[in-house]
Structure 1
């Protein structure tokens, strides 16, 4: 009898515990099945969100709405700022996210790291070989890139602060095209502030825009997508899925996770790609027209030697910078990873170009940009 009573009490206690555990609500968004995580009760999505955004700065970044966004299961993706702020408000602690044994592993790893081979000493001497002029160019490139970045305008478009919350969760294809168009248009604004581009002939500048705008804009777009955490925005993701399909969306999402975390390296890499003579696999639109062979042939010719020297200048700068930051071996791996990401992205940009809305948007931007170049080159009467 006592055994049966004890068994009944154990089952009742277990059921009560399971019910209580399943009824816990996330203190961030109110979702069910929450657990104790990082010093507070949170659901699995909010736990992962907090872990991924440990470096998010609440001082630099601001809410794209009014600073008091409502947090629940369906709207928690709308505002990164308010969600992270609430994570901290309910007691989630950054210091609890790293296991204590991680530091021990790092110490052990440092102890067993073999000494560098002597023949690498010459390469390691490059860790401080960026000249004053190169540091100045690097600083100017990164500053100009941030200055002309379309990210604030995109975030403002996504906020739609004058609309009710339900309307904020939906954007149409035209609005998405406008947002992506800002990214592609920013490439010319970026390049026209680089002296090496402005010193080129109008012919070569036109060719670079026609050939490279699509893939260079897409590579720059990866960095903008990551900086703005746009793939965590429900409305932006939904519009992308409707326009480009799940395969393209998932492919770009994987490349976002693979993109180098060094923003300076990615910005320099965008410049390297911009001065390539053969990066874009999409043929110029004028090649499909019935024009004379001599004219079309001239459209294919760059001042190749000059282009090579310009691109080589930025490649050297990029690689020496990466060696300075990470050492020769890791710099080589990171540089190869950047190339791999760019080549993989070419596949997705080529697929996107087959979508009429996307192709029309690119044709319009290229036509507007080349027209602007030609107008600037016309002598003033």
Structure 2
């Protein structure tokens, strides 16, 4: 079998954990498997590098940030190869350029275009364990690019796809996918399995277990994907196309504090105005999430929407630069908000899900600013200070509702 294993930063945070992971890799290898390993940067290395960059230049270019941040993964793979070699097995570390991971040229959020498999296959034929840097690629200018925070998951799934791996294992510091963050909700339940669609929604809505693009890719290429802990021997959670498990009202509660709300006030109530605003965002490659339009006074309307906090400064700058052309009264913003979401395929066949969520928030005294829905998710925008209390309240409400349904 060919197995791709990805280990997150907390799994390789120090020497002890590096050797712990090395032993697990060797266990897999000694069973006769070919093994390709993808690593993230150790512990808080990426955050530390960002802090160093801010000390030098608060407005550093994304190209130079990518050049800096990519060194974290390169440290990880070299150290892991050394650990495996010390334990008596053959291993080789490779970066994105050596492998041939070709990406788009969008610095800090690049997408993988193509991966050459020749170098990896040659190393596997030599019976090497191959250790590859996650989170990065090389663009057409031969510059290093990064794939966005959590992008090592996407690197692993992409490699599993092009190598036709039999299994892709994502190792983290939790032993699977939970109905909520177990660090916040003490009685969160681990799921034995979850569908690609539900996992994709949870990942996109703030759950930190998997990078959303990795789930999208796993679904597209039907990758056998398992999430498990590097610190325990628990079975983990299988991510798959269809789940046979009894359907709960919801599969999970996710929160995201990395967002900001922008409100464009006093827009003329005429066709094309929303297009003008969001075409500006698209031109700057700024992703927009929840959108709310309301009617104002004197034949005007207001449009509010959310963006990632990292994009807020750029979004405000482009709106202010085009304020006269847009003919708006005011542009206001806040980054003191959070998004709380529930996800579940069971929503499609169970009425009253939205009512239960809103009841939980009402009982907890939490105000809702904006609402967004789809077939399998409901998201609300709330004050950031309320997000943990809201997560617990909503999770408890649906846990009790599910137990009463079973009874």
- Is the structural similarity TM-score above 0.5? no
Q: Which has the higher contact order (CA 8 A, sep 6+)?
A: 1
- More helix by proportion, 1 or 2? 1
Where on the TM-score scale, by shorter chain, does this alignment land: which range? under 0.3
**If you compute each CA radius of gyration, which structure gives the higher value, 1 or 2?**
1
- More strand by proportion, 1 or 2? 2
* TM-score, length of structure 1 as denominator length: 0.26
* TM-score, length of structure 2 as denominator length: 0.25
